[in-house]
Each structure stands twice: as C-alpha cells, then as structure tokens.
C-alpha cells in the first residue's frame, strides 16, 4: 500500500495492535513506511508515568529504536479532542512544533497516525477543524 497524502498535507500511517501490555499497546505498521518519515515500523502508546512536567496527559506516543523501546524517541503526549478516540500531539524539531493526530478504533486494535509538515502547528480551534477535515 502506498502512502496516503491528504489534501491537508498530512501523511496517513496505519497500524495494527500486536501486543497489549499493562501500561502500553504496541502497534505495527500495516503498509510500508513512506520515504523520509520519522515514524518507525513499530510504535506504542504508553500510559503517562508522571516523569515530565506535562499536564493533562494520560498517554505518550513512542517510536521503537533500533534495538529497544528505550532507545526510541518519545515523540509527544496525547491531548484530548472532542472525540475520545482522537488525540493530537506535537513533535518538536528545529523548525518548531509539528502537528501529529492519532485516531484509534473503539477496541484499540487499529491506530491511524497523521503526520504534518515540519512547522505546521495551528491553534487549538484550527487543530479541531483540521481533525474534522481528515475524515
């Protein structure tokens, strides 16, 4: 399956759950990763353990490193939206924050991650509008 680039400029990545643990769910990509993406073939959403100063977070999004989860990047916390199955976050780069949107199925078996171009991080109201346009 080829990468899906939406009219919003987002790149769509589809994952399926491969392991449910007490504090996280691990996902594996369904298709091939687009060239140049920072996402990895395996990702996980883990419960927020309180090890940072972030507030109003329940979960974090992490990439698998070459050898372990610990070696991977902890990309962003997940913030709530109007829909309990949709969250958003940001990835910080040298060009600023970039929006990342997460959509999970009801049973958490599927995860869709939308990544946006570097530096694209609109206001909260625009994020909600952007999320609605992804459907």
Is the CB of residue 102 less than 8 Å from the CB of residue 111?
yes
pLDDT in tens, 100-133: 999 999 999 999 999 998 889 999 999 999 998 8
Tokens found for residue 111: 């995860």
Q: Total domain count for the chain?
A: 1
Closest CA to 10 of 94, 85, 100: 100
- Residue 129, classed as helix, strand or coil, is helix
- Residue 79, classed as helix, strand or coil, is strand
Which strand (E) or helix (H) includes residue 132? Answer: helix 124-134
pLDDT in tens, 61-96: 999 998 899 899 989 989 999 899 999 999 998 878
Strands 11-20 and 59-63: unpaired
Q: Domain residues for 77?
A: 4-134
Reported pTM: 0.89
């Amino acid at each position: 399956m080829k990468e899906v680039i939406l009219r919003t400029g987002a790149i769509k990545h589809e994952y399926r759950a491969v392991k449910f643990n007490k504090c996280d769910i691990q996902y594996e990509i369904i298709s091939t990763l687009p060239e140049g993406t920072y996402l990895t073939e395996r990702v996980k959403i883990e419960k927020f353990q309180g090890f940072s100063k972030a507030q109003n977070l329940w979960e974090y999004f992490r990439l698998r490193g070459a050898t372990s989860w610990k070696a991977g990047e902890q990309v962003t916390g997940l913030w709530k939206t109007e829909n309990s199955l949709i969250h958003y976050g940001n990835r910080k780069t040298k060009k600023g924050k970039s929006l990342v949107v997460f959509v999970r199925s009801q049973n958490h078996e599927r995860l869709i991650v939308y990544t946006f171009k570097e530096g694209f991080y609109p206001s909260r109201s625009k994020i909600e509008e952007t999320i609605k346009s992804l459907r």
